[in-house]
Amino acid sequence: MPVIRLVTVLPQEESTPFWRLVLKQFDDLLVKILIAAAVVSFFLALANGETGLSAFLEPSVILMILAANAAVGVITETNAEKALEELRAYQADVATVLRNGCFSILPATDLVPGDIVEVSVGCKVPADMRMVEMLSDQLCVDQAILTGESSSVEKELDRTDVSNAVYQDKTNILFSGTVVVAGRARAVVVGVGSNTAMGSIRDSMLKTEDEATPLKKKLDEFGTFLAKVIAGICILVWIVNIGHFRDPAHGGFLGGAIHYFKIAVALAVAAIPEGLPAVVTTCLALGTKRMARLNAIVRSLPSVETLGCTTVICSDKTGTLTTNMMSVSKVSVLHSAYDVPVVAEYSVSGTTYAPEGTIFDNTADTQLEMPANSQCLLHTSMCSALCNDSVIQYNPDKRCYEKIGESTEVALRVLAEKIGLPGFDSMPSALNMLSKHERASYCNRYWENQFKKVSVLEFTRDRKMMSVLCNRKQIQIMFSKGAPESILPRCTTIMCNNDGSTIRLTPEIRSEIESKFHSFAGKETLRCLALALKRMPVEQQALSLDDENDLTFIGLVGMLDPPREEVKNAILACMTAGIRVIVVTGDNKITAESLYQRIGAFDHLDDFTGISYTASEFEKLPASQKTVALQRMAIFTRVEPSHKKMLVEALQHQNEVVAMTGDGVNDAPALKKADIGIAMGSGTAVAKSASDMVLADDNFATIVAAVAEGRAIYNNTKQFIRYMISSNIGEVVCIFVAALLGIPDTLVPVQLLWVNLVTDGLPATAIGFNKQDSDVMKSKPRKVNEAVVSGWLFFRYLVIGVYVGLATIAGFVWWFLYSDNGPKLPYTDLMNFDSCSTRDTNYPCTVFSDQRPSTVAMTVLVVVEMFNALNNLSENQSLLVIRPWSNLWLLGSIVLTMLLHVLILYVQPLSILFSVAPLSWSEWTVVFYLSFPVILIDEILKFFSRNPTGLRFNFRFRRTDLLPKQEVHDR
């Protein structure tokens, strides 16, 4: 019924309307200031009687920039909403349900609590269900997407007695979306739709609000600060010039008030870096391209910069630090009863399902060229292939090998492939000539063709073993595999590896084997299986439990979900960079601690006390101890999705910038909550959609490279923000000083707009290509409340800004006073230009509306900022060390900017639009003389920055922040 369907599936969340997404992009103070400036400029132009392009140019350009930034924001947020939709893909489509006294296949959406459902191997569990009947000896479920456990979980009918049980403890519950990998059973539905474990993940994702990135917070602070500055400047300009409101040139008090209001608006336009949003977006977009080449696919532009201040990486264990592919790493067999040592041990390389790897003899310290020539390894291969129900196959679309069935059985399949086949001189190189599809199970199929399966004794919880009776050339052999504690007591003989002979299993040899088993299972925390065989009567066609006695022991195999080979160096690099790594997993504590040791990056840790916690242990701690535990924690185990999100929130409350890695559905809420969520490329679609970044190669080491890139991007971002700020300070100083001196308007708003958008924007963008510092990963992460420009740097850029403004004014005044093309006025006449019409002069009053002086001033402003751009190749290094050609993009942008500027000076339609005129060679010479000293001034300031004297300045000015600090993570 329709009413039932509403509660049996994950509800489809109503998406945010497009118009609301668009409006959200303009909910920013800096953006609102820009919009206000555009509107005011438009109405002032109309008030002056301007029409056509000149009236609309400035507001139109500003609005076009804002529209472009809004488009990027809308696209990013639209992608983020896909996570909730993709979560629905993990629901089963159909279910085998008991209705009207018989089982029938119905849509999973028709399930209601109380329904009896039957599941078997390969089924996706359609709802949360409680086990009521076991139809096979065991039922195993792969619930890694929900809990992150590296191995399948054996389910049982009995309820758990654990208090505060997490999902991993609920062994009598089948969870929606998980997959049955072994057995068959019936269960009663107890939860559907939003009332399932998968539904709780959806609800958690809905409740998670996106946090603003550190850079976004800094720009928001900058907008607030800028609003105050602009308001103060406008008021100050009015106060300073109240006495001039009644000047005859203004036509009355009201005319004077409007005139100086226009000057205030011009100051506002000068103070606002109109190109900043576009430059930030462009720089971050360039960063995403560089990261893509590192196999880090960025889904959210701001996350590029967030990486640079990451202090903690909460790394999911299964599939992130490990391969999430169970593989045999050790094999132990009896070499010979007459040799010392008695037991031989082999290491097996290869950590994936690919049939690629070598067998290394640890005892002889040699690699086996033909492993199948060793008798115990040969029979290990036979037993692994025959006593097995799993399948391994090659997926050409994903270009990888995939499993069907139990992970431990798949590991044995792969081991059989690595051991190879006997009797061929070209082994194992001949196998490499096969196609990947043929190679996937070539050796396994060989043994399955050689032996015909006659009878099978399935695995049971009581016996902890399984056996298969096989026939080959009138020889009946029973192969058995199982827990060593079950197989060894049933063995009376043992096979020798050197010649294939069988000898009595003496107490001494049994003790050696048991010792090796305890070493594998204890110190090395390997999952161990013992393999055995037995010759059976030729006429026997069925197996009984009594047949599983008097076995011949073949060998012991140890397997694990191995760490990725590159993880050790990656974690060491994180430590050097001051980034803490916390392993977060649904596995048990011992397994996680063993992985921590096996990685090899934590050899300095002898004791895990105080750094390793289960979720339940951590929740029981008092609040004060939780704070201490979070500061030292390195391992967090037995977690479910809510715990991962809780950990991220707790760390964020301690002002940590948290990166969370993961690949499963269970990781999605934490990925979305973290400052930067990092999903694995092979992970679930839900994890990818909830993340900010996807690692295409599933390589933890890629995170380190991405962090280094993020730090470099932030450093470059700081450089171009400082560059634009110093330029804008210069523009403000220029207009403000002109107003104080009482000289004509130095620059008109359209000229300021040209400088802010083009001549500032292009070099600022090119600064984003500055090379990464060699020691970028040797310093501690920056603090998120660190001001972009503060202390001594504020003083430096204030000095530069003041010089830029004064040089621009100097160019303007020079034309009136000294230029051969100018009127060569007395300075007092220039200061009293307003009263020109009331005085007798030997020059026309129209000279004060000549376009040449503002053109000289504008050109000085452009050229001085080009030199200032070169200053920003490095924060403190001299141009003699960091040469200009170290960033060819910057040189190219300077050349292009100057070409564009020359274009508007000498091309007629553009010169009229921007109120400029062509300059003579002598005027260009003066422009150069006024502009170049900015290089010398900044070199002196850089010298003090590198010198201890500069440190004293830093101490003295440390409280002066251009971008005010505020407490972050105030959640």
CA distance 226 to 788: 14
Quick count: other Cβ atoms within 10 Å of Cβ 691? Answer: 31
The DSSP-derived string for 864-900 is HHHHHHHHTT-SSS-TTTS-GGG-HHHHHHHHHHHHH
CA distance 878 to 871: 8
CA distance 395 to 900: 54
| 666, 640 contact by CB (below 8 A) | yes
CA distance 845 to 835: 9
Contacts 24+ apart (CB under 8 A), 875-881: 875/715, 875/718, 875/719, 875/793, 875/945, 876/942, 876/945, 876/946, 877/942, 878/939, 878/942, 878/943, 879/935, 879/939
The H-assigned helical ranges of 387-430 are 407-419
CA distance 772 to 458: 60
What are the start-end ranges of the E strands in 515-567? 527-536, 551-560
CA angle 529, 533, 534 (to 5 degrees): 150
What does DSSP assign to residue 875? S
- Amino acid 197 reads A
What's the chain's length in residues? 971
**Tokens standing for 748?**
């008109």
Among 84, 171, 97, 186, CA closest to 133? 186
Burial class (CB in 10 A: 0-12, 13-18, 19+), 49: exposed
What does DSSP assign to residue 432? G
> C-alpha dihedral over 451, 455, 458, 464, to 10 degrees?
-70
For residue 903, CA distances in Å to 898, 910, 915, 919 come to 8, 8, 13, 12
Burial class (CB in 10 A: 0-12, 13-18, 19+), 504: exposed
**Tokens standing for 384?**
């692994």
The DSSP-derived string for 734-780 is HHHHHHHHTPPPSS-HHHHHHIIIIITHHHHHHHTTPPPPTTTTSSP
User: 3-class DSSP state for residue 119?
Assistant: strand
The H-assigned helical ranges of 118-242 are 144-147, 197-207, 214-241
| 204, 645 contact by CB (below 8 A) | yes
> Which helix (H) or strand (E) covers residue 677, if one does?
strand 676-680
For the question of residue 425 being annotated catalytic, the response is: no
**341 prior amide bond cis, ω within 30:** yes
Given the residues 28, 142, 247, 316, the one annotated as active site: 316
**Tokens standing for 966?**
């505020």
Among 355, 359, 372, 366, CA closest to 330? 359
**428 prior amide bond cis, ω within 30:** yes
The DSSP-derived string for 686-714 is HHHHH-SEEETT--HHHHHHHHHHHHHHH
Catalytic residues: 316
